[in-house]
């Protein structure tokens, strides 16, 4: 039951460039989408979210895009910084029943 | 600091045993969620409680159970432990559904 998929296990980007992390989902009933960042030995930390009535939400260097027709979610980080190196999880929720992707490990090289 | 406290941080036990993991949610949060993260896998939703009542169930085994107490802290009980139960167990809390969940740092369970 993989309702939320992150097909890229890893991504490497040069400092200052754009990082684009992708996520696909299958359940059209999901109405709330989130991105979390996770450092080793810590719990996931909430980064940014978007409800299904929007197609874009921006917070500083982080922008989340939602394409409902394609059931696709993406996170853009501009500009990328070495401190952004972490595992990023996308999540989708239907009335609190939240499903997570397997994560993408982002490495930002100085 | 997310405000969510999980104890213990590490737990080592043997197959067939029973353990209890504890979670104190962020102040004011009524919902508590439990997740399991096995090696190199994503977060698997186990169960959600809201103000003391079970709200949603995910891929939780029958050997596992949970409860939320009147003071809103929650416990996850794992029994008849198997080697495959070795994982990180995370607790998260939120003030309502469809709001960001705030995670504790997890309990690492190792079954020998």
- pLDDT given at position B96: 81
Average pLDDT over chain A, rounded to an integer: 94
CA nearest to B108 within chain A: A41
Chain B: residue whose CA lies nearest to A99: B45
CB atoms within 10 A of CB B10: 9
Best probe of the B interface among A23, A43, A59, by most B CBs < 10 A, is: A43
Q: What are the structure tokens assigned to B49, written together?
A: 């409680």
**Is the preceding peptide bond at A38 cis, omega within 30 degrees of 0?**
no
Q: Average pLDDT for residues B30-52, to the nearest whole number?
A: 89
- How far apart are the CA of B3 and the nearest CA of chain A, in angstroms? 11
- Measured in degrees and rounded to the nearest 5, phi and psi for residue B106 equal 90, 160
Contact B6, B64 (CB under 8 A): no
Q: Is A67 on the interface with B (CB under 8 A)?
A: no
Cβ separation B35–A100 shorter than 8 A? yes
Q: What is the DSSP letter of B25?
A: P
Given a cut of 80, whether residue A60 has pLDDT beyond it is yes
Residue with tokens 């609190």: A96
Q: What is the pLDDT of residue B39?
A: 77
Please state the rounded mean pLDDT for residues A87-108. Answer: 91
């Amino acid at each position: 039951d993989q309702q939320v998929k992150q097909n890229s296990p890893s991504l490497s980007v040069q400092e200052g460039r754009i990082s684009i992390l992708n996520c696909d989902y299958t359940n059209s009933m999901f109405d709330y989408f989130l991105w979390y960042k996770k450092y080793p030995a810590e719990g996931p930390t909430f980064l940014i979210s978007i409800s299904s009535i929007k197609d874009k939400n921006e917070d500083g260097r982080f922008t989340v895009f939602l394409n409902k027709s394609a059931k696709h979610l993406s996170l853009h980080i501009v500009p990328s910084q070495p401190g952004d190196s972490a595992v990023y999880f996308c999540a989708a929720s239907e009335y609190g029943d939240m499903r997570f992707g397997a994560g993408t490990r982002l490495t930002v090289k100085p | 600091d997310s405000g969510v406290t999980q104890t213990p941080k590490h737990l080592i036990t043997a197959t067939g045993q029973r353990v209890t993991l504890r979670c104190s949610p962020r102040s004011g949060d009524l919902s508590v969620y439990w997740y399991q993260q096995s090696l190199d896998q994503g977060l698997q939703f186990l169960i959600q409680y809201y103000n003391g009542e079970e709200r949603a169930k995910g891929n939780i085994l029958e050997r596992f159970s949970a409860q939320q107490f009147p003071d809103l802290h929650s416990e996850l009980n794992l029994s008849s432990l198997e080697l495959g139960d070795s994982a990180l167990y995370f607790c998260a809390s939120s003030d309502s559904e469809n709001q960001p969940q705030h995670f504790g740092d997890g309990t690492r369970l190792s079954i020998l």
